[in-house]
Amino acid sequence: MQPANYHTYNEIKSQTEAWAQAIEVTRRASLPNAKRYQQVIFTGCGSTYYLSLAAAALYQELTGYAAGAVPAGELFLNPETILTHQDTLLIAVSRSGTTTETVKAVEKFKAEKGGEVMVISNYDETLSGLADVNLVIPQGREESVAQTRSFASMYVAATAICARMGGRGDLLEAMKRLPEAGDRVIGAYESFAKALGENLMFDRFYFLGSGIRYGLACEANLKMKEMTLTHGEPFHFFEFRHGPMSMVNEKTVVVGLLSDMNHAHEAKVLSEMKMLGGTVVSFGEQDADVVFESGIPESIRGVLYLPALQLMAFYRSVAKGLNPDRPNNLTAVVKLEL
């Protein structure tokens, strides 16, 4: 089948339209003042938990106030290990707005803590009804099980939230350039992602990202596992050297999400992995295999890492004879009896 016959492919290729809507939805929303909260918790499940990891790090960077991320199941089952302040803002992220653990965690939080809730979703569903601030990005909706366009749209919304609550109107304005930059990256690097994804000599992938990029490395790894049934793991750059690099050989791909500030340190780790026989692929604004050249401030351009990584997983899935639209053992929405 041709790529365009798969929902996943079309959703990856069209995602920048959803980015633009996410920016506009967040720009119009009435957001609370970051100074009101002693604690901010981002929560979700699977992809949206990894989004929460990235968003919490960015929130803390841009606002200067503490933030953390937890799986919604943990927030529901073990809130005493997470919630430490009465003045807590809970930011819940869910593509469907109906994920059982996330709904239950938010209901419990509102009943016991009485705190405020912000929801980021692609559907105006159950979670939206529990929200004090409700952000819905309809253009992020998908037919596929694995999140690509939806994840990116909600991550852009979370990025815009962090910029606004950090008082960084300049960053929010700069985010308007993201869709155009994203289209350039997709056009320039689809063939690169295809060649790498279709190379079935590789049997393991490691995704390295630090700071605000670690959650994105986790999400890229999840896409590779979900769509291609390939072994993979995410790590912080330096942590990979403490044991996991023993797995590197000629069948290994090590993907690095490079930063500007720590580029030299991170590139050195990748160089060491190449010397061990691994195939190294780097992503970054400059001096990388996949170059953004966006001119957009680093803190708000994280979404640019995603499209080529998603395409890599898509093409590997097809090359292995799998269906990227319907990954093995998965459903689009997880429903549990709780």
Domain boundaries, the chain: 3-176, 178-319
* Host H or E run for residue 67: strand 67-71
Q: Which residues pair with 281 in a beta bridge?
A: 255
Pairing of strands 39-44, 290-291: unpaired
Looking at residue 333, what is its pLDDT? 53
Please tell me whether residue 173 adopts helix, strand or coil conformation.
Answer: helix
What is the structure's pLDDT at 328?
Answer: 72
Ranges of the chain whose pLDDT falls below 70 = 329-338
pLDDT for 270: 97
Q: What angle do CA 260, 213, 334 make, to 5 degrees?
A: 165
pLDDT value, residue 336: 56
pLDDT, residue 237, reads 98
Task: Provide the CATH topology of domain 178-319.
Answer: Rossmann fold (3.40.50)
Architecture of domain 3-176: 3-Layer(aba) Sandwich (3.40)
Distance CA 193, CA 305 (A): 12
